[in-house]
Amino acid sequence: SDRPGPAANDVEPLPKYAAIYGPDGTVHTATETFHGRPPPRSELGRPLGVCFDLRHEGESLRGVVTDVPGIAGTRLLLATSRADLDSDEALLARAMRLVFLVTVVWSVAVATWVVRRFTRDHQRIAAVARRVAAGDLDARIDTRARDPEVAQLARDLDDMIARLGALVSSQRQFIAHAAHELRSPLTALRGA
């Protein structure tokens, strides 16, 4: 078909092997895939409804035996080629690995985007803290954060930086005044 997906021959209809056995073990009917000779009922002594592997005329088959509803003692064998099942299983395993890989890549991309979006305000706060540590006391945090806790943190840090700036400014003024006041007596002593 023109639909997207595996090519038509990648996953194909499985050849069906089927045989109906009477209560005495005789074959009532069988599909053409058995070429007229299905395995004897004695080789099918497995519990009903449990899948099993069998070999018939050199071919590996996977089958199941079940009762035929409404006909006492009559059993139905349904089987298919093990090689076909294995090739379809390999194709599906490859497809699942690809889907898993795409899912992991997509999940990492979405998680990275979400983490960056939620931490951008924190990044801005950290950048301002680094500028203040380098001596820029005029740096301020933009308080446009949507999270009220982050906005409060930004306001608190801005207040702290303003107070720190005021303290540094008053310290500089004090040192300038002290230096001036010490120069006058020192000059008088030198002059004397």
Q: Mean pLDDT in each 10-residue stretch from start to end of the chain (192 residues)?
A: 55 72 87 83 81 85 87 87 85 94 97 91 87 88 78 88 90 87 76 74
Cα atoms in the 13 Å half-sphere on the side-chain side of 12? 11
Q: What is the pLDDT of residue 10?
A: 53
Nearest residue to 142 via CA among 118, 163, 114, 123: 123
Strands 75-81 and 16-21, sheet pairing = antiparallel
CB 140 within 8 A of CB 158: yes
Q: For a pLDDT cut of 90, what percent of the chain falls above it?
A: 17
CA distances from 16 to 30, 80, 149, 191 (A): 10, 5, 67, 121
Instruction: Kindly state the tokens that stand for 154.
Output: 């930004």
Mean residue pLDDT of the chain comes to: 84
* Predicted pLDDT of residue 110: 97
Using CA atoms, how far apart are residues 84 and 95, in angstroms rounded to an integer? 17
Which pLDDT belongs to residue 101? 97
Contacts of 159 (CB under 8 A, 6+ apart): none
